[in-house]
Amino acid sequence: MKEISLNILDIAENSVKAGATLTEISVLEENDTITLVIKDNGSGMTDEVLKTVTNPFYTTRTTRKVGMGLPLLKLEAEMTEGSLTVESKHISEYPNNHGTVVTAVFYKNHIDCTPLGDVVSTMTTLIQGHPDIDFLFVHKTESVEVCLDTREIREVLEGVPLDTYEVIKWIKEFLNEQYIN
Amino acid sequence: MKSLAELKAIKEKMKDKVVLREGSANIRIVVGMATCGIAAGARPVLNTLVEAINEGGLSDKATVTQTGCIGLCQYEPIVEVFEADKEKVTYVKMDADKAKRVVEEHIKGGKIVSEYTIGASK
């Protein structure tokens, strides 16, 4: 992937497919690291599946037998001397607190580290594609702290769908302004 | 600064329109957004389509949605156009500029941009 933000878009799609009603995406830039955490309350994975998720020959898709999402993120993180961890609680064993947490650490000064890229576009794309589920996005750097919670937006909208173009445009500007201030 | 008051105003403006719009569009534009599509550049294609359809006043005519892997990863980014009573059109190896042209000529003008279709690329 050309940007880490594209990995975020890709991995968050797994959360959506796992039936998550809330997906929390946090990007923490501190010293020379970027820590990406994608946490969802979806169905989670059994230990058996969890062991195989970073293997490209495991996938949930039915169109072909190769799944590159998590293996790609792992490779990209490890190329910077960083790491990828995946923790998961499957619904069968944890009926009340199931879900998955993907954590990737990148060393941003490493020559092989791809730029974070357009995270605003990733968030608007996720919301446009999945207007009925909630996303919490937090991006902290040494100079800014950007936050977006679709639950707050949904409350204001009182039934107007989140994928309404005017709403998507508002969200985009709302995020962009937080980066400037 | 964007405020929630502004969002409220959008809500007031949209709440009547939304009901009207439900199900009225008869063209469905679908963008493949699995790992293959995203890596090949589907995100700007999708965003350009959404913008061009809405800014061009075509939102009553067409909707833009996302899907997973279409199964032709080597041709990504892929855009499929479904229209009632017509054969599906599959556009391949798309980018933002091609997406703009598809909206202008195909969605607005009704003429398929054949050079971008999978038939032309094979």
Query: Do B34 and A153 count as a contact with CB atoms less than 8 A apart?
Result: no
Helix H or strand E segment including A52: none
Region of A71 (left: φ > 0; alpha: ψ -120 to 50; beta: rest) is alpha
Angstroms from B8 CA to nearest CA on chain A: 6
Percent of chain A topping pLDDT 70: 94
Provide the domain count of chain A: 1
| Whole-number pLDDT of residue B86 | 93
| Whole-number pLDDT of residue A63 | 54
Specify whether the CB–CB gap between A179 and A144 falls below 8 A: yes
Angstroms from A167 CA to nearest CA on chain B: 7
Burial of A34 (0-12, 13-18, 19+ CB in 10 A): buried
| B33 against A56, higher pLDDT | B33
Task: Report the CATH number at residue A79.
Answer: 3.30.565.10
Right CATH for B24-121 from 3.40.50.10860, 1.10.3720.10, 3.40.30.10, 3.40.1160.10: 3.40.30.10
| Mean pLDDT for all residues in chain B | 91
Full residue range of the structural domain in which residue A151 is found: 4-180
Q: What average pLDDT score do residues A88-93 get?
A: 94
Best probe of the B interface among A5, A8, A10, A178, by most B CBs < 10 A, is A10
Angstroms from A32 CA to nearest CA on chain B: 25
Query: Do A63 and B68 count as a contact with CB atoms less than 8 A apart?
Result: yes
Q: Give the start-to-end residue ranges of the domains of chain B.
A: 24-121
Per-residue model confidence as pLDDT tens digits over B27-64: 999 999 999 999 999 999 999 999 999 999 999 899 99
Burial of A103 (0-12, 13-18, 19+ CB in 10 A): middle
Q: Which string of DSSP letters, residue by residue, matches B23-85?
A: TT--EEEEEE-SHHHHHHTHHHHHHHHHHHHHHTT-TTTEEEEEES--S-GGG-S-EEEEETT
Q: What average pLDDT score do residues A17-45 get?
A: 96
